[in-house]
Structure 1
């Protein structure tokens, strides 16, 4: 799914990466506030939805090649986090939807969750 489509569906605001919106596609979504779970379950082409707005979110995304993060509940990170995302070419979006609703909207519009691995 293209990022422009995700922005429209979630009524999201783009905080960084406007120049990348047409180039990046995601294949799955993962909603989580535990960065240890992000490290354990995600690899590439996955959209991360989270309520966390600290630098660890960007560092975690960088480690697992996440290119797009959606902050839920209208949250917006501070300038330090935005600059870190820009440096790493990570698109940051913000939506007013809560995590559960944002995930459901994306799922209903065809973006699936990450595949389950071995009964975890």
Structure 2
């Protein structure tokens, strides 16, 4: 799934975009616990979270996750955006809940990291 397609499905704002025409993301992982992201997420997934601090960007960077979607109307502050730009991370923000965000992405073809959902 392309970034523009995700943004359209989620009625999301694209805050930073480091994707290109070859960027195709097929897996998602949702958590507000960055320890779970470190334990279970993969570099092939997007990170969906309501946690709004720099630790989200640092965790995504450590896990080679290239895209973060902030949910529940959370808008990252300038420091978070600057850190994302520094690490070339794509950031989207949606007003939808985490549950609705995940559901919409799944019904539009995204898979969980287990790959057998």
Shared fold (TM-score, shorter chain, > 0.5) = yes
- Aligned counterpart, 2:51: 52
Equivalent pairs, count: 115
TM-score, normalised on structure 2?
0.93
- Aligned counterpart, 1:6: 6
Q: Considering only aligned residues, what root-mean-square deviation do their CA atoms show, in Å?
A: 1.3
Gaps spanning 5+ residues in structure 1: where?
none
- Contact 1:12 1:93 (8 Å CA) reproduced: yes
Point out the more displaced range, 42-51 or 56-65. 42-51
Q: Give the Cα–Cα distance (whole angstroms) in 2 for the partners of residues 22 and 91 of structure 1.
A: 14
- Contact 1:4 1:21 (8 Å CA) reproduced: no
- Give, in angstroms, the shift of residue 21 of structure 1: 5.0
- Aligned counterpart, 1:89: 88
Q: Give the Cα–Cα distance (whole angstroms) in 2 for the partners of residues 82 and 21 of structure 1.
A: 19
Q: 1:23 to 1:86 in 2, by over 3 A?
A: farther
TM-score, normalised on structure 1?
0.90
- Aligned counterpart, 2:32: 33
- Contact 1:74 1:95 (8 Å CA) reproduced: yes
